[in-house]
Amino acid sequence: MEKKYLTVALTKGRLADKTLDLFEKIGITVDEMKDKGTRKLIFTNEETGLRFFLAKGPDVPTYVEYGAADIGVVGSDIIMEEKRRVYEVLDLGFGKCRMCVCGPDKAGELLKHHEMIRVASKYPNIARDYFYNIKQQTVDIIKLNGSVELGPIVGLSDVIVDIVETGSTLKENGLKVLEEVCPLSARMIVNQVSMQMDTERISKLIFDIKEQLGK
């Protein structure tokens, strides 16, 4: 039978770099991947039987749910938004930031009553869940694909729901954090079937990473 690789989907960008650093610390190196000029899409580490590829964040849980990747590393914002059926096994501790409701100072008043307001977000599911189930406020949700901060500035929406890291973009645009929805960080997710069929290898990997994170 052909050799079965464990396939890992990484989120393109900073998250991937940090994940690879972490893997390196537990003795799994993929030198090819560090070469930024490469056009290869998939990278193999033969001795450990691991395969890596890069994907856009929202696609990582999809690859993992369908078993195209056994393991994925992705921000918890995307896990919450996509609601895929995957095991969420580890908090990797990096990529920390917060999901917040933001807007101009005066919009704070709108959140105190159950008034109907307009909310712009790249994360309509998270926004809906927060306003409907936690705040019990009826809202109109507008899905945007980037520069969400524009929403309140040009009058498209009253507030936005977005990721806040340092808050400097908000500040420069006269917005501020009004409420925190939840803290966020990078997570390791595992396909449900892989977890059952390849328990030993995956458990060992989780164990090794957990130990490394504890250091």
Interaction of residue 59 with another protein, rule CB under 8 A: no
Stretch that binds another protein, among 135-143, 150-158, 170-178, 198-206 (CB under 8 A): 198-206
Nearest to 158 by CA among 124, 108, 198: 108
**Smallest separation, CB 49 to another protein (Å):** 15
The CA distance from 22 to 29, in Å, is 10
Using the rule CB under 8 A, give the single segment among 88-96, 132-140, 146-154, 172-180 that binds another protein: 88-96
**Per-position x/- string for 4-23, each x denoting binding to another protein as judged by CB under 8 A, each - no binding:** x-------------------
Tokens of 207: 């164990």
Contact status, residue 145 vs residue 167, Cβ threshold 8 Å: no
Residue 197 contacts another protein per CB under 8 A: yes
Q: Closest CB to another protein among 102 and 130?
A: 130
Does residue 200 interact with another protein by CB under 8 A? yes
Q: Which of 90, 101, 102, 161 binds another protein (CB under 8 A)?
A: 90
Q: Which of 91, 129, 179, 208 binds another protein (CB under 8 A)?
A: 91
Give me the least distance between CB of 200 and another protein, in Å please.
Answer: 8
Q: Answer yes or no whether residue 208 interacts with another protein by CB under 8 A.
A: no
Q: Which is nearer to another protein, 1 or 154 (CB)?
A: 1
Q: What is the dihedral of CA 76, 74, 208, 52, to 10 degrees?
A: 170
In the bound state with another protein, the residue whose beta carbon lies nearer, of 147 and 192, is 192
49 binds another protein (CB under 8 A): no
Q: Which stretch binds another protein (CB under 8 A): 38-46, 52-60, 64-72, 110-118?
A: 64-72
Interaction between residue 65 and another protein (CB under 8 A): yes
DSSP for the chain, please give it.
-PPPPEEEEEETTHHHHHHHHHHHHTT---HHHH-TT---SEEEETTTTEEEEEE-GGGHHHHHHTTSSSEEEEEHHHHHHH--S-EEEEE---S-EEEEEEE-GGGGGGGTS---EEEEES-HHHHHIIIIIIS---EEEEE-SS-TTHHHHHTS-SEEEEEESSSHHHHHTT-EEEEEEEEE-EEEEE-HHHHHHTHHHHHHHHHHHHHHHH-
Q: Rule CB under 8 A: which residues touch another protein?
A: 4, 65-67, 86-91, 190-193, 195-197, 199-200, 203
